Amino acid sequence: MRRSSNPWDQMIEHVDHGLKIMTGSLPVRSKFQHSDAPSATALSEAARQRSSQLMRVNHCGEVCAQGLYHGQSTTARTEKTRQQLRIAAEDEQKHLIWCQTRLKELNSHTSYLNPFWYAASWVTGAVTGLLGDKVSLGFVAATEEEVCQHLDRHLEELPEDDYRSREIVSAMKADEAHHQQDALDLGGARFPTFLKRLMALQARVMTSSTRWL
């Protein structure tokens, strides 16, 4: 997403991008290159439902990431930080499309709560950005740390024979770990444990709700 120097243009761009995210109309620039793993037709109904729930949660997580990074980039203090946030957002958009495509393969749907979570994440990101780039980048690092742990849990929960979903989650985890390290390398603050626990609590609310809706 290109960034205009005009605040009103920026807001319009974010609204437009947010609507495309929530309606599933983002352009597909990067399809996930699966191995020769079996498709959803090889899964039992129980396994398909289980995978659908987990991939719906992962898709919503990417919706949240888009909102967070867009909000942060709006209030970032320096161009260097904005550029890093834009790069990370592009990776998250790639993940978003991977998860969305996999849900279609599983004959399932994205979360009906996506508009709420995108808006909440955008506001959180914008407020975090106002606290300064050090805090904002630290928030990115802490968030990505939680995401990596979350994806590890999903790799344990996904059906063993759902190779496609497992490939996607593993690739996402590698990118998220990279974003975490980049944020720290740029001077992001290391958040204390109690703040990370609060963030993990919020994440559990999101995962518990979107698993079913």
Q: Would you say residue 102 has pLDDT above 70?
A: yes
Say if 121 falls within a structural domain: yes
Reduced 3-state DSSP string for the chain: CCCCCCHHHHHHHHHHHHHHHHHCCCCCCCCCCCCCCCCHHHCCHHHHHHHHHHHHHHHHHHHHHHHHHHHHHHHCCCHHHHHHHHHHHHHHHHHHHHHHHHHHHCCCCCCCCHHHHHHHHHHHHHHHHHCCHHHHHHHHHHHHHHHHHHHHHHHHHCCCCCHHHHHHHHHHHHHHHHHHHHHHHCCCCCCCHHHHHHHHHHHHHHHHHHCCC
Say if 96 falls within a structural domain: yes
Give the pLDDT of residue 59. 92
Q: What is the pLDDT of residues 43-86, one digit of tens each?
A: 888 999 999 999 999 998 889 888 888 888 888 888 888 888 88
Q: What CATH code is carried by the domain that includes residue 161?
A: 1.20.1260.10
Tally the domains of the chain. Answer: 1
Say if 150 falls within a structural domain: yes
Confidence of residue 2 (pLDDT cuts 50, 70, 90): very low
The model's pTM: 0.80
Q: What is the pLDDT of residues 161-170, one digit of tens each?
A: 899 999 999 9
Say if 37 falls within a structural domain: no
Say if 1 falls within a structural domain: no
Question: What residue numbers bound the domain in which 177 lies?
Answer: 43-210
Say if 158 falls within a structural domain: yes
Say if 116 falls within a structural domain: yes
Say if 38 falls within a structural domain: no
